[in-house]
Amino acid sequence: PTAPARLPYVPHVPPMALLGKVTATTFALERPRCVFDGHADAFDAVWLAVAFANASATFRNPLSRADVPVYKQLPTARSYMTLETAAAAYSCSAPSPPVLRVGGDTACRDQGRQDPCNGPLPSPGPYRVKFLLMGCRGPKAETRWSEPILLRRAVSPSTIDPVPPRRGSAVVVIASILASLGAVLATAVLGALGAKVWGSLCHRDLGTDAFIRRSYRTHHIPPALPQPLPPGCSCSPPGPC
């Protein structure tokens, strides 16, 4: 078969700020536009080849769609192909999203069939990718391999320090001074309110409001005793039975 045309385009992660541009299992890739114009026909498809960086040199383009390496073989074959897309979606006039996400289909882990899948990447990598234009007679054009793309590493719980960092002595002194000032201010406010209330009581005219002392006979009321516990109930302080 005829060797595919080598295109100068190099796939890359988009340079603009993007939420989740690189995660522990996925990464965003800029969608190539106008790259395959002049090489693609109406029925051609563009694939993305994904390989571990140290295995990209040994990757071999499949001769037909039946030979495409699938996601399930990545741990052993060290590469796979995914994101099969009609070549027209990459033309200059196609209204398409600006980025692609590699590894975004979490349902791939549960699929038993051998169809191409865009499953989560199993390790940080690094990975290299390239686009491959496939026709009915095999590969027609391919881009260059990307630079190595390293995913984020998950933080191990054992590396997290459970003890918060100690504050500096200056911060502790300032906090103590502020707390003391707050206590003094609260005491002054309460004292002023108490003096005002006491003064109003002292100046009240008790001539007509004075009560007459009367003699009262009080009855002795024994203290209330706790009720006996019902059988089989045990209590433990401080809560009730």
Question: What does the pLDDT read at residue 14?
Answer: 93
Name the residue among 91, 90, 73 with its Cα closest to residue 82: 73
Question: What does the pLDDT read at residue 153?
Answer: 83
Question: What does the pLDDT read at residue 149?
Answer: 97
Q: 102, 83 in Cβ contact below 8 A?
A: yes
Question: What does the pLDDT read at residue 81?
Answer: 96
CA distances from 16 to 10, 21, 24, 59, 152 (A): 17, 9, 19, 30, 18
Torsional sign, CA 150, 155, 161, 165: positive
**Domains of the chain: which residue ranges?**
5-154
Question: What does the pLDDT read at residue 215?
Answer: 43
Give the C-alpha separation, 56 to 151, whole Å. 17
Which CATH topology does 5-154 take? Immunoglobulin-like (2.60.40)
Strand-pair category, 27-30 with 99-102: antiparallel
Torsion angle, CA of 12/16/17/21, rounded to 10 degrees? -20
Residue 146 has which token pair? 């990307």
Question: What does the pLDDT read at residue 97?
Answer: 82
Reported pTM? 0.64
Q: 53, 121 in Cβ contact below 8 A?
A: no
pLDDT along the chain (241 residues), means of 10: 90 92 96 91 94 96 92 92 94 86 84 73 95 93 97 66 55 64 67 62 47 41 43 46 44
